[in-house]
Each structure stands twice: as C-alpha cells, then as structure tokens.
Amino acid sequence: MRSFISVLILLLSVCNARLSEKKSTKTKLGFPKYHQNRTFCEILGDLPEHCECHEPGTLHVVVECLKPFNSTYFNDTIGMKIDMNPCDPDGSSMSIDVTEMDHNIDLPINQIRAGEEKNLPIPGLSVHVPGIMNLGLDVVVLMSGNLDELTCKVGLNACAGVHNHQICASAIPGLNTVLPWWVLSGTYSFGDICESNTTRVDAGLNDINILTAIE
C-alpha cells in the first residue's frame, strides 16, 4: 500500500513538473498573454444575435443559431449548427447542418477542411425579389490558413445568374441589409489552445498507462 502511495506522489510531482516546464516554455517563446487560459468560445468572440457557443468536448467547439428573417424579401427561420475541430491533426475542419422546419429541410455539410471554399445551394429555399427573379439561398463556407491564423467565414447568401452576370443580395438595395448573414467571419488564433489541450490529453493518457502497468 505504501509503495502504491509513493508512486502516486511521484506521478503528481511529474505532472507538476510538466506543467511548470510548459509554462516556462511558453514564456520563453513569447506567446501573447491574451492566448493563455482562453476557451474556444472566447477566441471566436462575439457571435450574431440568435447564436450561442458551447464546447462539448476537449477539442471541439459548437456554434448553434436559430435565425428568424423578417423581411419583405425573405420571411423564414433558419437553423445552423457549426461543429468545429480546429485542432484536428489532419487539418482544421468543420461540419455544418442547416435546417428549416416549414419545408422539412435538413442539409448536412460534412468535413470542410482548411483550404476549402464552397457555395452550397439549400434545396427548396429562395429569396423573391420583384422585378428581378428568385435568388437561390446558399450556405457560404470558407476555411483557410493554419492554427495560428485560421480564417473562417460561414453564413448565408443569395445569388442568381441574370443575363450572364451573377447578382447577389449585397448588390440589391433593401436585401443587402438582410443578406449575406455571417455566423463566423474573421481570422482566429487557435495554436496555443490546441497545443495546451493536446498536451493535457496526452499527459492524462500516459498517467493512465502508468497506473495500469502498476496494477
């Protein structure tokens, strides 16, 4: 029993030494102070009204929105869920799910990775602009860069082809105050938080392996 307690005390000492070394390394490398102890949601910053952020797992951040559009051109409520894994060892990634209840729409968009840009039509949804035509409603996704400077744009827009030209909501007076609507639009730094979380997970697994070997 005494030997087991001694081993536990030794493990705690090793963990404390790792944490001290980690903090010392970060100071020497000059990481900005504002990165320390921040959560994923804090890094994303202020979200649009009708959106909220939560962190269901160590390396995941989820943003969920239920956005009502009350416009002459577009009167509907759209749900959007963004499940983001910036620390994915294969490259930062996100999955998106877009829903609309009146037409039973559920559009899953899986595994968007850094370096990708997509405009994905939402089947069955459009914006009617008198004198022009119906503009299809699209999910707009852009993800580029690396952990230290990850640019993300996720939202909704409406565009249509007219006489060999593309017209989008931003060019239509009145509609340009409604669309595009961005949930995420910025460049974020996840390098420090991904490193600290990955190290914490690895350290926990190593300690579990040591305890298992002792037993």
Tokens 């009502």 sit on residue: 68
Q: For the CA atoms of the chain, what is the radius of gyration?
A: 23
Q: What is the DSSP string of 104-165?
A: TEEEEEEEEETTEEEEEEEEEEEEEETTTEEEEEEEEEEEEEETTEEEEEEEEEEEEEETTE
Spatial distance between the Cα atoms of 160 and 171, rounded to a whole number of angstroms: 11
Q: What is the pLDDT, as a whole number, of residue 42?
A: 96
Q: What is the pLDDT, as a whole number, of residue 198?
A: 64
Spatial distance between the Cα atoms of 67 and 98, rounded to a whole number of angstroms: 11
Q: Which residue has the higher pLDDT, 204 or 39?
A: 39
What is the rounded average pLDDT for all residues in the chain?
81
Mean pLDDT of 149-161: 95
Digit-coded pLDDT (tens) for 161-203: 877 788 899 999 989 999 999 999 999 999 999 988 765 444 4
Digit-coded pLDDT (tens) for 61-72: 999 999 999 988
